[in-house]
Structure 1
Amino acid sequence: MFFKPSKSKDNRSVNIAYYCIFVYWSVFLLLDSLLDDLFDKAIDMKSIDLLLSGLAVFFASELIAKFVLEKKHKKVHMK
């Protein structure tokens, strides 16, 4: 009852957001490991901050993808 599937969920924009968050975390962790190995200086960020910034990236990229896809869909149907 609490977790009802959303009927208005846009799967395409959610998949784009998943990809964006994967790229964000991958690049961050790669840079952190390179800085730590090469210069012995890691990025000073707590795990919760990394997770919360990833959540912000997820929601922002989902909103942007939804906006762009709706605009593209309207443009195709206007012709």
Structure 2
Amino acid sequence: MGYVSYTFEDGFERPVEDLMWRVIMLVLSGGWHRMWEERARREIIERIEEGGLENILAGVPQEEVEIFRHDLKILKIFST
């Protein structure tokens, strides 16, 4: 996971790409490393708090926004 994360560390220009990448990494981690998972969750939440979820997802088709919000809810990152 570390290598993959490092490879794409500066690879995304748009906040939505960065946020979605971080969520993908969290899912792929499978909860194997508790400390990494906690840090990943914290980073996702910080990104959402900094940019506002609506602003980050601006320009994303509504159907995809709804799916992504549902994913965040399943991961217990976002409640509504």
TM-score by length of structure 2 reads 0.31
User: Larger helix proportion, structure 1 or 2?
Assistant: 1
Larger Rg belongs to? 1
Pick 1 or 2: higher relative contact order, CA cutoff 8 A, min separation 6.
Answer: 1
